[in-house]
Chain A
Amino acid sequence: MIMTIAARELKALFLSPMAWAILAVVQAIVAYFFLIYLDYFVSLQPQLALLPNAPGITSIVISPLYATVAIVLLLVAPLLTMRLISEERRNRTLPLLMSAPVSVSEIILGKFAGIVSFLLVLLLLTSLMPLSLLGSGKLDFGLLLSGLVGTFLVLCSFAAAGLYISTLTAQPTVAAVGTFGLLLLLWILDIAGNTGDANGVLSYLSMLNHNQALLRGIFSSADVIYYLLFITVFLVLSVRRLDAERLQR
């Protein structure tokens, strides 16, 4: 049942020109960054050759690239998640799901799975760029995979937060603005945490901070758990929000 809803969600995304536009734009921007990082690596290469145990192309090109993907998608994800529930509400299609033998959790998980599959497609498409380097050199696959997992977790968190905001309103644009605000806030918390002296908590809450270790190839379970918790909290909130609609106000 979750898969049915996810499949419809994915289909609806690809039926709209928006998904294709987002894929194209993200791909173009990431490609540009990829070229910049590659250029940087090439200019650095003579010096690197002199160093013993020098950092390889993966850590100089690919890790920063994944960090960039996360930031670009912070801007783009709200546009993808905004319509998840709010559009159903605006088009009055929610009763179809609510009066079918489907639980609210299944609806939310289905929506989440749909949007996450799209983000996975997006991520895998951008990953083709680093993989193209295989033609002329060797890659550190452990580091690549860890970066991929880290970025995927960040994207899933974006999706969960966006899904929750989308359950709050019937206006997709309001959902987009709200999600964007929330994600931006969670991102810049880091800055606030760094400038203040005793604000370790704020810095800890910052979303992109937890990605750093994974991008460096350190699979720290604390960071992974942070993301899983973040996703779970927002999914539970979404279920409760949608369920509350039926109840007494």
Chain B
Amino acid sequence: MQNDPFVQVKEVSRFYGTSCAVDHISFTVKQGEVLGFLGPNGAGKSTTMLMLTGNLAPSEGEISINGVDLLENPRQAKASLGFLPEQPPLYRDMTVDEYLRFCAQLHRIERGKINAAVDAVKQRCGLTEVGQRLIGNLSKGYQQRAGIAQAIIHSPAVVILDEPTVGLDPIQIREIRQLIRELGGEHSVILSSHILPEIQATCDRVQIIHEGKLVLSDTIAGLNHYMHESCVMIMLQQPPPLSELEKFPGVTAVEALDERRFKLYHEPGQSPAESLAEMAVQNRWRLTELTPEKRSLEQIFVDITTTEKTADAPGNGAAEQAA
């Protein structure tokens, strides 16, 4: 049991009518791992999370949480789950304390330990000051925190958060990310988001889901390797024809951003920068800029999820550099 993955998903599919929202997905999450779930809107992220938490039954496939089959033994499996849906499930007419106490009871925390659990989770989520206030009167950020508090009050083995930082201000986002990292220490966390830097900052592993299929699953470290310098951006005042640039050793493709700026894609580790500079001087292309670029997660994401090639706005370049 010790070495069993906390979450095991085998060949799970879900149909809505005839349309397939999730198509034979399999993955596992180990103890202490933070898994990021990425995907464009409508890719099946939320459906997958609802299935993992027993809110939706999969059309086929198996899910086990902490070694317990979710479909055969839902009550026992759900005991080791904490879930924050896209919209935090809050009773607006209760105070934070009442609400958390109710959640603690729902998750069968022993009567004597409820107060301690409520206090601890309030401390952890920064809710101590608003304990007596009605949830309906709290700001979006505090409501979101109450939602997270609800998901971790019983310290479940697996915490599932669907877009946990939506609607928060930048400082709160940082706090929540910190909290998620902390959670990753003892619990397993599954996190969905479409904010890529967030995934990069908090997760150990990333899965990209697109049109119901898992299209990429890798560790952040693996992705970093994959992202490393595979592109050089140059600016030439008197550029040669594109075919000349394509001839450089290691260059796989050339993209003209405008008349003078080009992107040269190359095999990892075979940067043409040096020879490029030499050639530019020899042929008087008047090189004014040469920037090795990392492929960002965003770029990978866009590459994988845009099936038909659309005319990308060149403005994307700036965002990529920032990452």
Contact = CB atoms under 8 A, between A and B. Distances in A.
B41 to A, nearest CB: 18
Interface residues of A, number: 25
B124 interface: no
Interface string A87-119: 000011111111111110000000000000000
A102 B89 contact: no
B108 A1 contact: yes
B30 interface: no
B89 A101 contact: no
Nearest to A92: B87
Given A1-B108, A92-B85, A248-B15, A99 B91 contact: no
A86 to B, nearest CB: 15
B75 A99 contact: no
Nearest to B162: A95
B6 interface: no
A4 B76 contact: no
B78 A99 contact: yes
A225 B217 CA distance: 59
Q: Is chain A's interface secondary structure helix, strand, loop, or mixed overall?
A: loop
A15 interface: yes
A246 B75 contact: no
A99 B92 contact: no
Interface residues of B, number: 33
Interface string A6-35: 001001100110000000000000000000
Contacts of A249: 16-17
A247 interface: yes
Contacts of B83: 95, 99
B75 A4 contact: no
B130 interface: no
Contacts of B56: 246
Contacts of A99: 53-55, 78, 81, 83
A120 B17 CA distance: 43
A97 B74 CA distance: 13
Contact of A96 (B17, B54, B75, B150): B150
Contact of B93 (A12, A102, A248): A12
A92 B55 contact: no
A91 B75 CA distance: 24
B87 A4 contact: no
A96 B16 contact: no
A93 B75 CA distance: 19
B106 interface: yes
Contact of A100 (B15, B93, B106): B106
Interface in A215-249: 246-249
B91 A94 contact: no
A248 B59 CA distance: 6
B75 to A, nearest CB: 5
A100 B91 contact: no
B24 to A, nearest CB: 16
A96 B91 CA distance: 10
21 contacts: A1-B106, A1-B108, A4-B102, A8-B91, A11-B94, A11-B98, A12-B91, A12-B94, A15-B94, A91-B92, A93-B90, A95-B85, A96-B103, A96-B106, A99-B53, A100-B103, A101-B79, A102-B75, A246-B54, A248-B59, A249-B17
Interface of B: 15-17, 50, 53-57, 59, 74-76, 78-79, 81, 83, 85, 87, 89-94, 98, 102-103, 105-108, 150
Given A95-B55, A102-B75, A248-B57, 14 more contacts: A4-B106, A8-B91, A8-B102, A12-B93, A12-B94, A93-B91, A95-B83, A99-B54, A99-B55, A101-B106, A246-B55, A246-B56, A248-B15, A249-B16
